[in-house]
Amino acid sequence: MKTLILTRADVEQVATMELAVTAVERAFAGFGRGEGIMPPKIYLQVEDHDGDFRAMPARLGNSAGIKWVNVHVQNRKRYGLPTVMAVYVLSDPANAFPLAVMDGTLLTALRTGAAGAVASKHLANGAPKTVGFIGCGAQAYTLHGTHRVVFDGFESLAHDRNASAAQRFADRVGARIVTLEEAAGADIVCTATPSRTPFLQAQWVRPGAHINAIGADARGKRELSTETLKGAAVYIDDLHQATAGGEINVPWAEGELTLDDIAGTLGEVVAGVLPRPDGAVTTVFDSTGLAIQDVSVARAIYDAARSRSLGHEVDLIGLEPLPIE
């Protein structure tokens, strides 16, 4: 038995927006039904380098795996490297053999964007006329692409404090550059920033809109005002992760939000355990990124790569054939 090595170039050939949306929706449904196993995300802080590592194991169906991913906020300025990089190890849960080792950087960006699109599919009030993208970095592109898989014909509104980033995004996806207030007033709003200061105000949000709060992924980070959260039906991906480092982490720690303020998990809605919210209700999806999403997308990438004979097989762990006992 050999392990399949999939480089970024290999992953790019098969990891489409459609593949990501399908795999992530499957992961949420399974998680909502209680079918997956996902231990808490482990953080390894490297404060002397302004970053951290995260280990994210999970098992879903015929796949188990772990992602080793970093967030180093100064990487681009200091080293010309991405803020986020990742490697994924996919294993067979039956015998623990490492099926594949693959680039996890694109996987992470795709599954995060797909999570927002799946949330919009199940929580938004029908097809949007406008989708606002606040924060026009790398994550905005997969959020846009996966929303195009789910919805067609919407106008894209772009806002970023960095005018160059907003212009690049607008040029690439055909968005219109707008003010923060205009972007926040879209039918669907996607925030993807590293902010620690809430900037999206409740009075800007259209009643019945849906918000994907993507940026907060560590303690102290937040993008939405407490009033925005209190005025909406808030759906999370996982209670432990959301309260520890998701969009709700600060008001939760300060006692301004409690379990009574949480409408449920996205997985419960996708699985049909909870009903879709009423169309008149403003909804928020607090996305922290689940390892169960990673393993589902990694398996889809692996299967697609196998079907196309992509990648390079290696005898990674040098096993000698053993008799079956």
From the list 41, 67, 121, 221, the catalytic residue is: 67
Domains of the chain: 3-107+291-314 (3.30.1780.10), 125-286 (3.40.50.720)
Across the chain, which has 325 residues, the per-10-residue mean pLDDT values are 96 98 98 94 94 96 97 93 95 97 96 98 97 96 98 97 97 98 98 96 97 94 98 97 96 97 98 94 97 98 98 90 66
Q: Nearest 10 degrees: CA dihedral of 17, 22, 28, 31? A: -130
The confidence score (pLDDT) of residue 322 equals 62
Q: How far apart, in whole angstroms, are the C-alpha atoms of residue 286 and residue 229?
A: 10
Verify whether residue 67 is a known catalytic residue.
yes
CA neighbor of 88 nearest in space, from 17, 15, 159 = 15
Residue 203, burial from CB neighbour count under 10 angstroms (0-12, 13-18, 19+): exposed
The confidence score (pLDDT) of residue 85 equals 95
Q: Which residue has the tokens 């920033």?
A: 193
Alpha-carbon distances, residue 51 vs 71, 83, 203 (angstroms):
5, 9, 34
Q: Decide if 206 contacts 186 (C-beta within 8 A).
A: yes
